[in-house]
């Protein structure tokens, strides 16, 4: 486990440096301003020492020379403040550009991930990686830029100045100071695991919150609130314990390093005082040396704090990079065909597929659909109806066998052109944030106003759209649209009615629509499906009586196949399924 954590940290650090290296000019400016700021800061003690040495005794003070020194010090402090402000501004710019790049890459990765990954990971946990983990990473990175650069330059600069004043005392300081770094390194090893655990539990908590808020109606309808609170309390308690441990161990670093550095400062003061008594150093020189000793040890405190904060940042970065490094869905083959005008001839040969290797679903599935045929797919829940649709759209690839369209294997057709050849309306609706017009024209952005209105009228959505505050320009979203589920479904149907691709997939497309409107839409569907290959998944068997082929599925296999009348005469599974709808 320790070796794995060490590898993860090194991997994350290399990845971070690869992102940061894109901004080398800004890094150079930041280091330059840091060096200039440190140089001024280190020069100020020299001026202070000179001013002290000008106080020779009672009634023997060179005020004129002291004032000149103070004026020079004031100017230098002003310049130092401006340079430090510029350095911090540049560090902020670098940090948030790196964060922007990581978030963009992570979001782009989500677009290319296979659906199997998204189906098997809680959406709230993925959101937590993109939002909370990246924010934590940004805080650690910003602290690193702000304090690490100036800290390293300060250590090197003060070391050089101290050597020029007194070599022996400088050697004493150099020998004792690394003790604080060893202590910081020892503590940081423990904190990384706690920060990683904290980040993982935070993702779990976000997923739970997302689940409960997104399904609040179900939670309240089934009085699940108390159980949801119990689960949240349990997660929150585990997060609290992990956070307390992480903060406790990380907070030990600063006081321990400060204690060591205070001992060093006392040792410098004692040896320096002896040097002054022996005439090897002036009082001003001692004052200057003590100031340098303090400045030399101060960055060690800050760097030790940065190291601890970076443990948290790297723990969060690992989770984000894990997402970015997830394998994307397989790319289209090099010579993939772009299907521009599909005819609609679909063939499935010996298709086998399962979501889990241990649970078989579709086995030895064969089907041949000619252009313009309407294929209805029926069967009990879990028999593989929606899975078949997923395979046709190539949301999932078959384990074995082949699916072809117009004689071309779907594996040899670009996904984009294959999917654009299908028009799909699902039982689960999705409305994007935007106007009603933008939602309808998703498949045909260049549609005219007349085409949009005609499609809406065909689906009987035009009447309720006109009653909205701004009509077709009303802004809606999936979460907060003010629309009923049936109205949302009508918009999704209108979206397909506008573009009308060569092949159609209707998966319980009218499940949330009232019977009267459904009858009207079925007439529109009949016109739309004329001459187009259509796949219809339906539980209400009365809606598929006119289908050319009805596939009756059970346990992933087609157990019956034929027209409505043929299957009724057969008196088998379909007949029982159809007649059960009318049983009292």
Tokens of 579: 């007649």
Query: In angstroms, what CA-CA distances link 532 with 164, 345, 396, 441?
Result: 89, 10, 24, 21
Residue-range domain boundaries for the chain? 17-23+87-324, 330-421+502-584, 430-500
pLDDT of 214 higher than 80? no
Residue with tokens 């200039």: 36
E strand intervals along 275-371: 346-353, 362-369
pLDDT of 236 higher than 60? yes
Residue with tokens 């009653």: 467
**Architecture of the domain delimited by 430-500:** 3-Layer(aba) Sandwich (3.40)
Please, what sign has the CA dihedral across residues 126, 131, 137, 140? negative
The per-residue pLDDT for range 56-86, each reduced to its tens digit, is: 656 666 777 778 888 888 898 899 889 889 9
- Topology agreement, domain 17-23+87-324 and domain 430-500: no
Tokens of 553: 């599925």
| Across 374-388, average pLDDT | 82
pLDDT of 4 higher than 60? no
Give the pLDDT of residue 155: 77
The per-residue pLDDT for range 471-515, each reduced to its tens digit, is: 999 888 877 667 877 788 888 888 888 887 888 888 876 666 677
The per-residue pLDDT for range 138-180, each reduced to its tens digit, is: 777 777 666 766 777 777 777 777 777 777 777 877 777 767 6
Largest Cα separation within the chain, whole Å, is 125
∠ CA(35), CA(38), CA(40), 5° rounding?
Answer: 110
Residue with tokens 């390293």: 152
Interhelix angle 283-324/63-112, nearest 10 degrees: 10
pLDDT of 27 higher than 80? yes
The per-residue pLDDT for range 199-211, each reduced to its tens digit, is: 788 888 888 887 7
According to CATH, the topology of domain 330-421+502-584 is Rossmann fold (3.40.50)
Task: Determine if residue 482 is left, alpha or beta; phi over 0 gives left, psi from -120 to 50 gives alpha, anything else beta.
Answer: left
Q: In a 3-state reduction of DSSP, which class is residue 425?
A: strand
Give the pLDDT of residue 57: 58
Rounded (10°) CA dihedral 532, 537, 541, 547: 20
pTM greater than the 0.75 cutoff: no
Centre a 10 Å sphere on the Cβ of residue 527 and count the other Cβ atoms it contains: 11
**Architecture of the domain delimited by 17-23+87-324:** Up-down Bundle (1.20)
d(Cα 44, Cα 387) in Å, to the nearest integer? 74
Smallest Cα–Cα separation from 402: which of 366, 438, 361, 355? 366
Interhelix angle 24-53/134-165, nearest 10 degrees: 40
Smallest Cα–Cα separation from 247: which of 237, 239, 235? 239
Quickly count helices (H) and strands (E) in the chain.
Answer: 20, 14
Task: Determine if residue 556 is left, alpha or beta; phi over 0 gives left, psi from -120 to 50 gives alpha, anything else beta.
Answer: left
């Amino acid at each position: 486990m320790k070796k794995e954590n060490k590898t993860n940290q090194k991997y994350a650090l290399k990845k971070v440096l690869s992102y940061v290296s894109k901004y080398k000019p800004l890094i150079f400016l930041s280091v330059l301003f840091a060096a200039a700021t440190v140089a001024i800061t280190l020069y100020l003690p020299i001026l202070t020492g000179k001013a002290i040495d000008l106080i020779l005794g009672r009634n023997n003070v060179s005020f004129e020379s002291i004032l000149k020194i103070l004026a020079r010090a004031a100017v230098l402090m002003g310049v130092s403040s401006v340079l430090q402000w510029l350095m911090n501004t540049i560090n902020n710019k670098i940090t948030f550009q790196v964060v922007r790049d990581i978030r963009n890459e992570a979001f782009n990765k989500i677009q290319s991930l296979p659906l199997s990954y998204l189906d098997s990971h809680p959406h709230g946990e993925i959101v937590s990686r993109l939002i909370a983990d990246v924010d934590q990473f940004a805080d650690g990175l910003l602290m690193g830029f702000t304090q690490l650069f100036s800290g390293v330059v300060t250590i090197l600069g003060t070391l050089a100045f101290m050597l020029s004043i007194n070599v022996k005392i400088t050697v004493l300081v150099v020998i004792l100071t690394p003790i604080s770094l060893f202590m910081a390194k020892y503590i940081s090893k423990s904190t990384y695991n706690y920060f990683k655990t904290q980040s993982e539990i935070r993702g779990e908590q976000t997923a739970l919150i997302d689940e409960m808020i997104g399904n609040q109606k179900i939670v309240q309808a089934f009085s699940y609130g108390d159980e949801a609170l119990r689960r949240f309390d349990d997660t929150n308690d585990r997060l609290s314990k992990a956070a307390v441990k992480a903060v406790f161990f990380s907070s030990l670093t600063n006081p321990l390093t400060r204690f060591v550095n205070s001992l060093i400062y006392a040792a410098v003061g004692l040896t320096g005082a002896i040097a002054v008594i022996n005439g090897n150093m002036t009082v001003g020189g001692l004052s200057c040396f003590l100031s340098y000793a303090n400045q030399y040890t101060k960055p060690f405190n800050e760097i030790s704090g940065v190291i601890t904060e970076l443990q948290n940042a790297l723990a969060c970065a690992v989770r984000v990079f894990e997402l970015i490094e997830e394998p994307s869905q397989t790319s289209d083959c090099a010579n993939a065909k772009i299907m521009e005008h599909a005819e609609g001839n679909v063939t499935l040969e010996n298709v086998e597929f399962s979501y889990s290797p241990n649970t078989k679903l579709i086995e030895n599935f064969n089907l041949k659909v000619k252009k313009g045929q309407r294929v209805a797919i029926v069967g009990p829940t879990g028999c593989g109806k929606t899975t078949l649709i997923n395979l046709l759209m190539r949301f999932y690839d078959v384990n074995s066998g082949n699916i072809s369209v117009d004689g071309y294997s779907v594996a040899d057709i670009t996904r984009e052109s294959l999917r654009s050849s299908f028009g799909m309306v699902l039982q689960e609706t999705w409305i994007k944030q935007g106007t009603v017009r933008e939602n309808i024209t998703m498949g045909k952005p260049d549609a005219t106003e007349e085409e949009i209105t005609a499609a809406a009228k065909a689906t009987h959505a035009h009447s309720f759209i006109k009653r909205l505050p701004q009509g077709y320009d009303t802004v809606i979203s999936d979460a907060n649209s003010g629309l009923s589920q049936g109205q949302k479904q009508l918009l999704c149907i209108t979206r397909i009615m506008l573009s009308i691709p060569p092949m159609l997939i209707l998966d319980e497309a009218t499940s949330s629509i009232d019977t009267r409107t459904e009858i009207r839409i079925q007439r529109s569907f009949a016109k739309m499906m004329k001459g187009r290959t259509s796949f219809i998944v339906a539980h209400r068997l009365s809606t598929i009586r006119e289908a050319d082929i009805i596939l009756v599925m059970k346990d992933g296999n087609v157990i019956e196949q034929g027209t409505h009348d043929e299957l009724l005469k057969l008196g088998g599974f379909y007949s029982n399924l159809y007649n059960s709808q009318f049983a009292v």
